[in-house]
Structure formats: structure tokens, C-alpha cells
Amino acid sequence: MRLIEAKKEYYRTLAKKDGYRSRSAYKLAQLDNSYHIFKSKSTVVDIGSSPGGWLQVAKQKVGENAMVIGIDLKHIYPLQGVITLQGSITDSEVIDEVLKLVGGKVDIVLSDLSPNMSGIWDLDHARQISLTRAALSASVRLLKRDGISVFKVFEGELLERLKKEMRCHFQRVYSSKPKASRQRSSEQYLVCLDFTLT
């Protein structure tokens, strides 16, 4: 078995053992180990959260008394202690519903969004960056001052411009590739700290 496939299979098997819905749960857990994203009782919104692996990690990290909300176009099978909404983050009514549920702004916004892959790299990259830009717009509406966001991105020519946009809203922006990601993959994560209200 090739190294890449072996690594993929390792995290898939581990996810089943640990009860996570996806192996991507380990990516978020590893990012948290590096950047200390979660604090007890933080309010979390996870964009593009189906099937729910990131929601599981977030809920474990912030505790049973904290609010965790998942948003996805797809139905998310219920998770104890997690609120799920079916809809698009480009729909202002969905964002309004989150703000209403929370009764204010949130501490953390997560985005693990990916497009339906066409196999045409330039197109897939552009679509992914567009999705992440929509997630950034949602974060600007949702976050408290000094809030945190984590965005999945694909490497490519449009990425640096997106990072510059993020630096207009966050004091610190870090690029990271957790061990659970395939190292040859173009996937990386932007960890954005200290949201600045505009």
C-alpha cells in the first residue's frame, strides 16, 4: 500500500475506533493542539459541517454547556448537544438565525468547505477559494471581537489575495497543514486569530 493510502486508511480506521464521523476530525484536533483554538464555553459555528466530525471535536473541546451550531446544505444526522441548520451561508436569513439562536456574536467560526471536484485544477481551486471567501463574509458577521476562524483552502494563485483579505479582519493569520492531511495534497488551513471589528 502506498504511503498516502496507508495514512488515509490509518485515520479512517482510527475515526471508526474513536467514534468520529470523519477522519477530518483529527485535522481539527491537531490544529487545536498547535493554536489553542477552543476554550471552555466558547460558542462555535461550523460551516459545511456534514457529516459532523468537526462538530464532534468542537463539542468535546468547549463542553456540554457551550453552544455548537453546524450549517450545511446537506442534512446533518443529529448530534447530542449540537444544533444543526440546513441551508447556505450565502443566505442572510441563515446567518440571522444563528445570531438569533446565540443571542449575540460567536467566539469561533470553522470552515472545512470543499467544492464538488471536477478534476480541472484551476476550476477546483477557484471554486474552493470562492467558498472560503463566502465563509469569511459569514465570519465577519458572526464573530465577536478577538474571535477565531479556521478555514480550509487550496493552494494556488488566488490564495495570497485571500490571505490579504483575511488580514484586514484578523490580526494574525497562520498557514498550517496538520499531520492528518495528506502531505502531497494542496489542502492547507488558515488559522485566523484576534478578529477586529470593522
User: CB within 8 A of 196, min separation 6: which ones?
Assistant: 145, 169, 170, 171
- Reduce the DSSP state of residue 16 to 3 states and report it: helix
Q: Which of 27, 59, 61, 152 is catalytic?
A: 152
What sign results for the dihedral spanned by CA atoms 196, 27, 127, 161? positive
User: CB within 8 A of 5, min separation 6: which ones?
Assistant: none
> Do 124 and 134 contact (CB within 8 A), yes or no?
no
C-alpha distances out from residue 72 to 6, 35, 50, 58, 82, Å = 30, 25, 6, 16, 13
Spatial distance between the Cα atoms of 137 and 130, rounded to a whole number of angstroms? 11
Q: Based on the residue annotation, tell me whether 152 is a catalytic residue of this protein.
A: yes
> Do 153 and 188 contact (CB within 8 A), yes or no?
yes
> Do 46 and 68 contact (CB within 8 A), yes or no?
yes
- Residues recognised as catalytic: 152
